[in-house]
A = this chain, B = another copy of it.
Amino acid sequence: MRSSEGSKPIRIGLLGRGTVGGAFAELLVGRADAVEAATGRRPELAGVLTRSEGDFGAILERSDLIVELMGGTDPARDFVVDAMRAGRPVVTANKQLLAQHGDELFGIAREAGVQLRFEAAVAGVIPIVRTIQESFGVTEVAKVFGIVNGTTNFILSEMAATGAGYDEVLARAQELGYAEADPSDDVSGADAAAKMAILARLAFHTPVNLSEVPYEGIEAIQPDDLAYAKELGLSLKLLGVAERRDGGIGVRVFPCFLYPGHPLAPIEGPFNAVMVEAPAITEVTMSGPGAGGVQTASAVLGDVVSILAGEAPVHETRVELPIVADVTSSFYLYLEVADRPGVLATVATVLGDHDVSVKSVVQRGAGEDARLVMVVHECLESRFAAAVAALAELDEMRAAPRSIHVIEKEF
């Protein structure tokens, strides 16, 4: 662990204290020790600017780094420009700011020699910005595409699952907090277009004008479309696509059916997922929650840490955790037994004696023998192993029991 004695704290000026801003302020306190351990500097809030309180100039003056979470471009753009010109690195989650003023802001960051980081602006906690900029920074990316709006993915998933109409599902999404009171930016595809403009710029190293990105939303999707599509095995997603085409690039947003087996087909609910394709990497898919206060705040904090780290830090252990050997699991159990009355009861008794509880069982005859295939509920592995050892001793066993771990559908 790096010594923190005498280390200077890092003073963070926070612009905006909505859902994400509030979560960030909280996370900063909760993870202060971890940040200090990782970077040698302890973060502290130098000031918070809200619509009604705080003075930007004063906050800037006493901050080492600015975190912009106000949203919108006015006055966010001016604040970010001023901060960078004053030599402060900036972290922002503001997709409109980047999509509309990217060229200007990146130019100022370069001139001022400060970092401008924005992982949270695209696809929430999925580290797609870092991956494209750093891991695949010199890769000839052919295509970046995916589900970059969680609101619309939730609506489409619900419509497909329930057969309900767009308006009804939108209302439910609003109740659950997955859609805003005015959902037009999300459902029209405009939000996704801004994110794709950013991803296309990063992937292809070319300026992308947001006004050149056509988008189509999901407002016109009918339950019928989804019902018929189900028969064809298709699932509907609002896709953003940025790809090289005919010596140029195509960037756009549109609803799209995916065949089963497509890596994006199983992405349901308010999740995002992005795929990157390139000859040298084949394809990489990344998925996770597309929004949420604490999730977005986590991505912002990751950027703050990257700025503090500067030169990439060498891994360092911080604690010495014991390795726990006996954990719990659910199991699949395959038994070949004599096909005679009472054998299932015998097996069940042995399992019960070891506190192993059966979740489902399939029994099949096979001549003189039968097969019992079962799944048991989660239990201590040592207990399950003892039960299996006891089963192996039964007269009715025709072969050694076989068992395999099972992960239950618990999420």
Does A327 make an interface contact (CB < 8 A)? Answer: yes
Shortest distance from the beta carbon of A374 to any chain B beta carbon, whole Å: 10
Say how far A25's CB is from chain B's closest CB, in angstroms: 14
Please tell me if A292 contacts chain B, counting CB pairs below 8 Å. yes
Q: Does A57 contact B (CB under 8 A)?
A: no
- The answer on a CB contact under 8 Å between B137 and A38 is yes
Using A202-B315, A257-B332 as known contacts, say yes or no to A298 and B281 having CB atoms under 8 A apart: yes
- A250-282 vs B, CB cutoff 8 Å, 1 = contact: the mask equals 111011111111110010000000000011111
A119 contacts which chain B residues (CB < 8 A)? 135
Complex copy number for this chain: 2
A281/B318 contact (C-beta < 8 A), A130-B135, A334-B224 known: no
A263: chain B residues within 8 A (beta carbon):
266, 287
| Residue A139 at the chain B interface, CB threshold 8 Å | yes
> Is A402 interfacial (CB-CB < 8 Å)?
yes
Tell me the minimal C-beta distance from A282 to chain B in angstroms.
Answer: 5
Given the known inter-chain contacts A38-B137, A408-B259, please indicate yes or no for A362 contacting B205, CB distance below 8 A. no
B302–A407 touching, CB < 8 Å: no
- Identify the stretch in A11-19, A27-35, A172-180 within 8 Å (CB) of chain B at 4 or more residues: A27-35
Question: What distance in Å separates the Cβ of A23 from its nearest Cβ neighbour in chain B?
Answer: 9
**Nearest residue in B to A110 (C-beta to C-beta)?**
B314
**Are the CB atoms of B334 and A257 closer together than 8 Å?**
no
Asked whether B334 lies within 8 Å of A256 as measured between CB atoms, the reply is no
Looking at chain A, what size class is its interface with the partner chain?
A: 35 or more
**B250→A405 contact, CB < 8 A:** no
Determine if A409 and B259 form an interchain contact, defined as CB atoms under 8 angstroms apart. yes
- Interface stretch among A181-189, A206-214, A383-391? A206-214
A296–B280 alpha-carbon span in the complex (Å)? 9
Would you mind naming 27 contact pairs between A and B with Cβ atoms under 8 Å apart? A27-B280, A31-B138, A34-B139, A37-B138, A38-B138, A115-B311, A115-B312, A117-B312, A125-B281, A127-B135, A133-B313, A134-B302, A135-B299, A138-B301, A205-B316, A207-B320, A213-B323, A228-B371, A228-B373, A248-B324, A250-B323, A250-B325, A256-B405, A257-B332, A280-B294, A282-B288, A285-B286
A interface residues with partner B (beta carbon < 8 Å): 27, 31, 34-35, 37-38, 102-103, 106, 109-110, 114-117, 119, 125-127, 130-131, 133-140, 201-202, 204-209, 212-214, 220-222, 224-225, 228-229, 231-232, 234, 236, 239, 243-252, 254-263, 266, 278-289, 292, 294-295, 297-299, 301-302, 305-307, 309-325, 327, 332, 334, 360, 362, 371, 373, 375, 402, 404-409, 411
